Amino acid sequence: MTSAWDRLAKSEAILVAVIKENVPELVAARKAIGDFQSMIRSKWAAKLDDWIEMAKGGLVGSFVNGVEKDLPTVRNAIVSPWSNG
């Protein structure tokens, strides 16, 4: 579900299409994780609060709970020029 459509074999594209059609929770979870990654890459923490509200009820809820518990640290990690990865 994270690969570009043009890089998938026909059977993989069909499988992803079936998943998207039948498991919307998984699609929403993938979007939530993608949005979080975008915030980190762009160093834009302004969307963090909205992201938490959007993602907390889905499949990534436990991850969101961890983010909320360390909110100041996560916010600083997003905007910091330093990376541990």
pLDDT digits (tens, 9 = 90+) for 12-56: 989 989 998 999 999 999 899 999 999 999 999 999 999 999 999
In the block, tokens 């910091």 appear at: 80
- The model's confidence at residue 3, banded by pLDDT at 50, 70 and 90, is confident
pLDDT of 84 reads: 67
Res. 76: pLDDT tops 70: yes
- The model's confidence at residue 72, banded by pLDDT at 50, 70 and 90, is very high
